[in-house]
């Protein structure tokens, strides 16, 4: 986030920079605390916000600083590489429009140590 942005302005700006697409009314659907632990000590922490959006304008870039970009079918996310906790975010957000809250604890190399989600995993 840039310093004076709201989280909605931030996701809109960053999505545009990284994909070329302009989101129309992204909706906050997840608010998470991410903890990095090594040997039982917290070495880093941040917040992560997940937005849902169905409408946009613009054309998808083929490449950005984030890498190669492509559309994938909704049900293909479980085969994509991502931090292990992120699959649970997709599981929830594609099934429910209820906000999900939670904490993910990882090692520094993103091995998942624990997940605490509300609503909990089915």
Neighbours of 78 (CB within 10 A): 9
What's the half-sphere exposure (Cβ side, CA atoms, 13 Å) at 107? 6
User: Does 4 sit near its own copies (CB under 8 A)?
Assistant: yes
Q: For the window 34-73, what string marks contact with its own copies as x by the rule CB under 8 A?
A: -x------x--x-x-x------------------------
Q: Do the beta carbons of residue 32 and residue 47 sit within 8 Å?
A: yes
End-to-end CA distance of the chain: 32
CB of 44 to its own copies, least distance (A): 11
What's the CA gap between 64 and 96, in Å, rounded? 30
CB of 46 to its own copies, least distance (A): 11
What's the CA gap between 9 and 15, in Å, rounded? 10
Q: For the window 66-105, what string marks contact with its own copies as x by the rule CB under 8 A?
A: ---------------------------------x-xxx-x
Interacting residues toward its own copies by CB under 8 A:
1, 3-9, 27-28, 31-33, 35, 42, 45, 47, 49, 99, 101-103, 105, 116, 118
């Amino acid at each position: 986030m840039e310093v004076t942005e709201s989280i909605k302005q931030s996701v809109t700006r960053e999505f545009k920079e990284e994909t070329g697409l302009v989101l129309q009314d992204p909706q906050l659907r997840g608010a998470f605390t991410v903890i990095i632990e090594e040997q039982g000590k917290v070495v880093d922490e941040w917040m992560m916000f997940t937005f849902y959006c169905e409408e946009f304008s613009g054309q998808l870039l083929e490449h950005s600083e984030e890498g190669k970009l492509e559309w994938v079918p909704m049900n293909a996310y479980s085969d994509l590489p991502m931090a292990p906790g992120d699959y649970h975010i997709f599981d929830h957000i594609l099934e429910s429009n209820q906000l999900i809250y939670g904490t993910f604890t990882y090692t520094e190399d993103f091995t998942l140590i624990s997940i605490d989600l509300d609503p909990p995993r089915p």
